[in-house]
Amino acid sequence: NAGVTQTPKFQVLKTGQSMTLQCAQDMNHEYMSWYRQDPGMGLRLIHYSVGAGITDQGEVPNGYNVSRSTTEDFPLRLLSAAPSQTSVYFCASTREGGRGNTEAFFGQGTRLTVV
Amino acid sequence: DAKTTQPNSMESNEEEPVHLPCNHSTISGTDYIHWYRQLPSQGPEYVIHGLTSNVNNRMASLAIAEDRKSSTLILHRATLRDAAVYYCILNSGTASKLTFGTGTRLQVTL
């Protein structure tokens, strides 16, 4: 059982380049999320999705796009990378509902450096 | 979401119990208390959660104050593998929108 899988694990981009961070889960979870973590800080929510075709913004959405065409996949797109987007990115999934009574499962992260 | 307050860091000796405190004085009646931990260079990992009663699982125990304004994560016998940042999070909605603070960095020494 793979859980939440993120690719790539490491990436270096030049300023202005675009790329897609991949996230896939095999637990049939409805809800998925993207977070970023800067050095010495906790995770901050970028975007989340409550099901295929439904996405919404989190705390720090600027510079990122998402779409959710299947239950399994939730890619994060950087349209024009900036040095401020250098960070570690985590994808998470959780089953729906629960009103606080469910847990999230996280991937191993993608370490992105923008030069 | 209501705010939580945790010490920045704690130290423990291996094979001794560890009590990690969390204050959440503005907790609402529907907030569950969640604990996650993040091992070095890994994603956060769910540890335990509870609403009002104390909870136990294979990883840890969660002790919740009667007024719910504070809680304590208990690791019964710390090992070197328990060295991590521990996050106390309140959540009354979906776990797809968790609010992380800076957590408590636990150091475990021989």
Take residue B85 and report the two structure tokens written for it: 């940042």
Q: CB-based contacts of A7: which residues, under 8 Å, 6+ apart?
A: A21, A22, A110
Query: Taking CB atoms and an 8 Å limit, are A109 and B102 in contact across chains?
Result: no
Query: What is the rounded end-to-end Cα distance, in angstroms, of chain A?
Result: 36
Query: Which residues on chain A are in Cβ contact (under 8 Å) with B49?
Result: 101, 103
Question: E-strand spans in chain A?
Answer: 4-7, 10-13, 19-25, 31-37, 43-51, 54-57, 64-66, 76-78, 87-94, 105-106, 110-114
Is A43 within 8 Å of A87 (Cβ atoms)? Answer: no
Please give the pLDDT value at position A2.
80
Please give the pLDDT value at position B68.
97
CA-based nearest distance B35→chain A, Å: 10
Under an 8 Å CB criterion, which residues of B touch A?
30-32, 34, 36, 41-46, 49, 51, 87, 91-103
Residue with tokens 């690719």: A7
Please give the pLDDT value at position B72.
98
Please give the pLDDT value at position A83.
97
Average pLDDT over residues A44-71: 96
Under an 8 Å CB criterion, which residues of A touch B?
4, 31-33, 35, 40-45, 48-50, 58, 90, 92-94, 96-109
The Cα diameter of chain A in Å comes to 41
Whether pLDDT at A16 is above 80? yes
- Read off the pLDDT of residues A86-106 as tens digits, 9 standing for 90 and up: 999 999 999 876 678 889 999
- Read off the pLDDT of residues B11-61 as tens digits, 9 standing for 90 and up: 999 999 999 999 999 999 999 999 999 999 999 999 999 999 999 999 999
CA-based nearest distance B22→chain A, Å: 16
- Read off the pLDDT of residues A60-72 as tens digits, 9 standing for 90 and up: 999 999 999 999 9
What whole-number distance in Å separates Cα of residue A77 and Cα of residue B29? Answer: 38
